[in-house]
Amino acid sequence: MTQYIGSGRVAPALDRRRQATLSAFAERHFRWLIALPAVGLILALSVYPLLFSLWVNFVNYDFDIPGHDFVGLQNFADVVSDPNARSALLVTALLSVVNVAIEFVLGLALALALIKTFRGRTLVMSILIVPLFISPVIVGQSWALFLERPFGPADYLLGEILGHPVTVSWLTESPWYYLSIIIADIWQWTPFMFVVLLAGLAAIPPHLYEVAELDALSARMTFLYITVPQLAPVILLAITFRLLDAVRLFDVIFMMTGGGPGAATYTVSYYLYQVGFQQFHLGVATAGSWIFLILLSIVIWVLVRRLLRAEKS
């Protein structure tokens, strides 16, 4: 590459040296240069918006009320005093824990059931992982359709199985709407637990089981003394990942109950969506999201740190 200055060319020697210094620079700082684009993008579209929203917390930002006057902690107060916010937090916490717990138990059962090879195992595995790749909105819609009367066959099927007619309004009747959400969530995410726990089981050194067999350990002892301790780090990983995703519950709520009836199935994300993007009280919503973030960060800090440590050892 040569440079044109004025009407002539720069002497090739000078040009080569410039090129040499450039590539030497690139070589020396290679590691930073290639990481830069990704880091830059994250800073621009994740960190910067968060900093911006930090400012929004303390000003008036509302499509109804013009101007961005400083309002101190008013936004936060509005959130904290809103009963919908409190109930959303409670619903989120409860649903997340219940979902993850059920997914863990079912996932472990499936993993234990499928650790052994058998004919058709590959086909079963392929079927079981399908829910993981489906958009959560479709999962929500699919279960809404299946459960809701008069269109969904759920009540009819249940009626046939149980022997007496079932007339449950799965999406509007308390407490069935919680159950519906739980069913949709575990339908989609139990395979996650299953796959991860299965991988963990498969990584247990087979000789341990062989020694246990020769030592005549009972199935219970083998499970408690070999399987569970060996699986512990994987269990921690699976629950961490799943829990931190479960608290974001939104798509399924949106499609199945719309937060209702009333605000009974509001989750934190759905509540903030309502306040910020339906009512456009953006300042209040931002404050709410920061409270949520802080609560979440504590959980992340504890769990993810422990995860990384475990991976090291």
Q: Are strands 4-5 and 8-9 parallel, antiparallel or unpaired?
A: antiparallel
Vertex 243 angle, CA 238 and 248, to 5°: 135
Residue 250 sits in the site that holds other proteins (CB under 8 A): yes
Q: Out of 74, 84, 87, 230, name the contact with other proteins by CB under 8 A.
A: 230
Longest CA pairwise span in the chain (Å): 96
Q: Out of 10, 41, 90, 298, name the contact with other proteins by CB under 8 A.
A: 41
Quote the least distance from Cβ 168 to other proteins, whole Å: 16
Residue ranges in 142-201 that form contacts with other proteins under rule CB under 8 A: 142-143, 145-146, 148, 150-153, 156, 187, 190-192, 195-196, 199-201
Axis crossing angle, helix 176-202 with helix 83-114, rounded to the nearest 10: 40
Select 178 or 250, whichever has its Cβ closest to other proteins: 250
Select 39 or 90, whichever has its Cβ closest to other proteins: 39
Residue 298 sits in the site that holds other proteins (CB under 8 A): no
Residue 94 sits in the site that holds other proteins (CB under 8 A): no
Select 93 or 300, whichever has its Cβ closest to other proteins: 300
Report, in this order, helix, strand and coil percent for the chain, each rounded to 5. Answer: 75, 0, 25
* Residue pair 275/285 in contact by the 8 Å Cβ criterion: yes
Residue 98 sits in the site that holds other proteins (CB under 8 A): no
Count, residues near other proteins per rule CB under 8 A: 121
Query: Which runs of E-coded beta strand occur in 192-287?
Result: none
Residue ranges in 46-75 that form contacts with other proteins under rule CB under 8 A: 46, 49-50, 52-53, 56, 61
Burial of 70 (0-12, 13-18, 19+ CB in 10 A): exposed
H-run or E-run covering 200: helix 176-202
Range in contact with other proteins (rule: CB under 8 A) among 14-22, 44-52, 76-84, 96-104:
44-52
